[in-house]
């Protein structure tokens, strides 16, 4: 309460000084206008500081991981101050791609072959100028997994790479088949339930740098894929730790939420068209096994998955696919430290579907739940062009694991 009162006094004083210089006292013919604006501003500040700005909920399956995060990743225990004029879920989600800057990143592309004859596009940021890790063989490597139709060009991926470069790390982005401009060599794309391509990428990267600390971070669908992989492999993975952001924990709940009229209008229909565009370029590869005319008529992600994704990967029904794709089922089997950041107001991942009780039963899992932040939003500051709360969590966590991860085994 003392901190709240202090924040309120500072904010009120700054507002008063600003208005004194910016608003004419003759507004509405007297000083009444200034008083009204100042009064409203103070009332809004009170509401913001008491109801919007809150500390995240930290859920861990054991005291050791929780204590480790408090010591080495303190951002997860600090108050998150969403952008004061844009804290609502949909606003944060819609605004982030347009308002956040895109750091310049020079990639080195690599195409690797898969067991079925396909190819996967990897974009590397080698960070050969690293002064902290001059030896490339031991330079920490961060594998990044973008969202549903995302690639290495997404602003959130670029920010993660920029922050990793500051720490001296190397990054590699796993672009799902067919979305980064490369040709499909086989009639197969991707889904968050099938982890074969991710297993191929992890094995390949680890074989190149077996002595380097190896971590992964997945965003939205990329996080779902990563969690499904970790749930299948347990502790038998080259990864020493992982982080996920804005994961959809229960695919059924995600789909139901996104099919509500406003969410369908703002998000679902657009993402469906993105999925259709991603397969349209390779249409000739699928015509023998999939009715592409029906795929292109889909009006929702669920319809697209029913007509394309579930058929592509051999599921009997869409329900079978959605059951297998939901990472909440495998969270109890995760065998390495994983931090999962979600906003409770995320319309892509409803709060009731977040597996809090399951997380409490696994000492390797930590959920960080903010009251606001939307889907991959987490904007903060008056004009959030640069670092978001999500970026700060990412940076502190990967640094904590690389520099202090050994402490977890001794706690």
Q: Do 356 and 59 contact (CB within 8 A), yes or no?
A: yes
DSSP letter, residue 306: I
Selecting among 123, 305, 346, 391, the annotated active-site residue is 346
Q: Do 85 and 342 contact (CB within 8 A), yes or no?
A: no
Q: How do beta strands 170-175 and 214-219 pair?
A: unpaired
DSSP letter, residue 169: -
The sheet with strand 241-245 has its strands ordered as: 57-60, 365-370, 338-343, 241-245, 214-219, 141-145, 170-175, 119-125, 108-113
E-assigned strand segments in 17-132 = 57-60, 108-113, 119-125
- Collapsing DSSP to helix, strand or coil, 275 comes out as helix
Tokens representing residue 263 in the block: 């969410």
- Please spell the DSSP secondary structure of 8-47, one letter per residue: HHHHHHHHHHHHHHHS-TTGGGSTHHHHHHHHHHHHHHHH
To the query of whether residue 375 is one of the catalytic residues in this protein, the response is: yes
Rounded distance between C-alpha atoms, residue 269 and residue 144, angstroms: 26
Selecting among 220, 255, 326, 349, the annotated active-site residue is 220
To the query of whether residue 21 is one of the catalytic residues in this protein, the response is: no
The angle at the Cα of 87, spanning 81 to 89, to the nearest 5 degrees, equals 125
Rounded distance between C-alpha atoms, residue 70 and residue 144, angstroms: 24
Identify which of 329, 351, 341 has the alpha carbon closest to the alpha carbon of residue 398: 341
To the query of whether residue 159 is one of the catalytic residues in this protein, the response is: no
Q: What backbone torsions phi and psi does residue 112 show, to the nearest 5 degrees?
A: -115, 150
Question: Which residues are catalytically annotated?
Answer: 220, 346, 375
């Amino acid at each position: 309460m003392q901190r709240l009162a202090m924040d309120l006094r500072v904010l009120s004083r700054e507002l008063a000084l600003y208005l004194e210089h910016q608003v004419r006292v003759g507004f509405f013919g007297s000083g009444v206008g200034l008083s009204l604006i100042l009064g409203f501003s103070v009332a809004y500040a009170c509401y913001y500081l008491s109801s919007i700005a809150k500390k995240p909920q930290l859920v861990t399956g054991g005291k050791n991981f929780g204590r480790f995060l408090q010591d080495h990743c303190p951002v997860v225990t600090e108050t998150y101050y969403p952008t004061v004029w844009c804290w609502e879920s949909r606003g944060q989600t819609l605004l982030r791609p347009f308002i956040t800057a895109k750091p310049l990143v020079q990639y080195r592309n690599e195409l690797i072959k898969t067991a079925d004859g396909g190819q996967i596009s990897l974009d590397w940021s080698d960070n050969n100028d690293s002064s902290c890790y001059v030896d490339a063989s031991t330079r920490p490597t961060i594998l990044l997994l973008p969202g549903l139709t995302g690639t290495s060009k997404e602003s959130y991926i670029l920010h993660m790479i920029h922050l990793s470069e500051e720490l001296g790390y190397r990054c590699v982005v796993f672009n799902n088949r067919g979305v980064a401009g490369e040709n499909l060599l086989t009639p197969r794309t991707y889904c968050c339930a099938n982890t074969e391509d991710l297993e191929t990428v992890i094995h390949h990267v680890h074989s190149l740098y077996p002595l380097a600390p190896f971590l992964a971070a997945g965003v939205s669908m990329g996080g779902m894929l990563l969690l499904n992989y970790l749930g299948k492999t347990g502790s038998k993975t080259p990864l020493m730790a992982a982080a996920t952001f804005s994961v959809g924990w229960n695919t059924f709940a995600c789909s139901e939420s996104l099919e509500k009229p406003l969410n369908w209008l703002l998000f679902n229909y657009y993402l469906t068209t993105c999925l259709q565009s991603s397969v349209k370029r390779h249409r000739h590869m699928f015509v023998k096994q999939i009715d592409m005319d029906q795929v292109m008529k889909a009006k929702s992600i669920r319809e697209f998955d029913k007509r394309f994704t579930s058929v592509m990967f051999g599921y009997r029904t869409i329900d079978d696919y959605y059951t297998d794709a939901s990472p909440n089922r495998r969270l109890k089997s995760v065998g390495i430290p994983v931090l999962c950041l979600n906003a409770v107001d995320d319309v892509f991942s409803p709060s009731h579907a977040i597996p809090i009780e399951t997380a409490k039963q696994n000492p390797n899992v930590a959920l960080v739940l903010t009251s606001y932040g939307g889907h991959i939003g987490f904007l903060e500051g008056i004009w959030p062009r640069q670092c978001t709360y999500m970026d700060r969590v990412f940076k502190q966590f990967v640094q904590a694991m690389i520099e202090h991860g050994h402490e977890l085994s001794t706690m």
